[in-house]
């Protein structure tokens, strides 16, 4: 019974990854579970795709956007400097952790805040990591609600307007009822001190 369950999960994941990849490569938008909450996402490096997410969320601010990477190596491609204190924190932090970087690079301006900063998370979720690794680029993630009104803690909390507005809906984890929370968010001060923006 366990083998069947695991095999079924693996098949769903493979189906979802293949479908999501096809949409991402064509500049589309997906609805998917992350290691925190359900999110709307796209290729974080494609400004046209990012604009589609803005439109679905009815011009929510880019502060609700997070950039998801699969590894420290990928992260280094999108920040000017990764401070050793941040790298250590990312390697050993047990909960999902988002870091706000003041000087990101290789990202379109509509994927960053008005101040040019970007919130980037090294994902812990197996499905997300596999999807990003297969795609080879970071994904944008913005919680799946109109504007920035609610946190969709499970699939059942997502409005039909959001579901109908995306190009692909991931099936994996749709039946989970457990509630998730946004990631811990930190920033490094100019004096190299950690500032917790969200705990």
Res 2: pLDDT: 33
Confidence band for 52, pLDDT divided at 50, 70 and 90: very high
Contact present, 40 and 53 (Cβ < 8 Å): yes
DSSP 35: S
pLDDT, tens digit (0-9, with 9 covering 90-100), for 62-101: 567 999 999 999 999 999 989 999 999 888 888 888 999 9
Q: Which residue has the higher pLDDT, 140 or 150?
A: 140
Any idea which residue has 């919130």 for tokens?
Answer: 119
Q: Which residue has the higher pLDDT, 185 or 3?
A: 185
Is the pLDDT confidence value at 154 over 50?
yes
Cα dihedral sign, 121-16-169-77: positive
182 by Cβ neighbours in 10 Å (0-12 / 13-18 / 19+) ranks as middle
Backbone angles phi, psi at 8, to 5 degrees: -65, -45
Q: Within its chain, how far is the Cα of 12 from the centroid?
A: 20
All residues at 6 or more sequence positions from 17 whose CB lies less than 8 Å from its CB, including other chains: 127, 130, 131, 134
Nearest to 107 by CA among 75, 61, 60, 72: 75
Radius of gyration from C-alpha coordinates of the chain: 16
**From CA 25, how far away is CA 27, in angstroms rounded?**
6
Domain architecture of the chain: domains with CATH: 2-198 (3.90.870.10)
Is the pLDDT confidence value at 132 over 90?
yes
Q: Which residue has the higher pLDDT, 58 or 172?
A: 172
Rounded mean pLDDT of the chain? 86
Residues 168-179 have a mean pLDDT of 85
3 by Cβ neighbours in 10 Å (0-12 / 13-18 / 19+) ranks as exposed
């Amino acid at each position: 019974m366990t083998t069947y369950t695991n095999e079924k999960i693996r098949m769903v994941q493979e189906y979802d990854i293949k479908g999501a990849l096809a949409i991402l490569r064509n500049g589309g938008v997906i609805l998917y579970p992350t290691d925190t909450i359900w999110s709307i996402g796209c290729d974080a490096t494609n400004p046209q795709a990012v604009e589609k997410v803005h439109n679905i969320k009815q011009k929510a601010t880019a502060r609700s956007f997070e950039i998801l990477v699969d590894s420290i190596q990928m992260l280094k491609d999108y920040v000017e400097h990764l401070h050793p204190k941040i790298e250590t924190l990312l390697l050993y932090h047990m909960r999902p952790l988002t870091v706000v970087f003041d000087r990101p690079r290789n990202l379109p301006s509509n994927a960053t805040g008005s101040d040019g900063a970007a919130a980037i998370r090294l994902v812990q979720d197996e499905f997300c990591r596999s999807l990003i690794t297969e795609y080879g680029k970071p994904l944008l993630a913005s919680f799946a609600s109109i504007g920035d009104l609610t946190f969709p803690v499970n699939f059942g909390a997502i409005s039909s307007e959001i579901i109908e507005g995306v190009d692909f809906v991931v099936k994996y984890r749709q039946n989970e009822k457990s509630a998730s929370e946004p990631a811990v968010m930190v920033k490094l001060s100019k004096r190299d001190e950690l500032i917790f923006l969200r705990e």
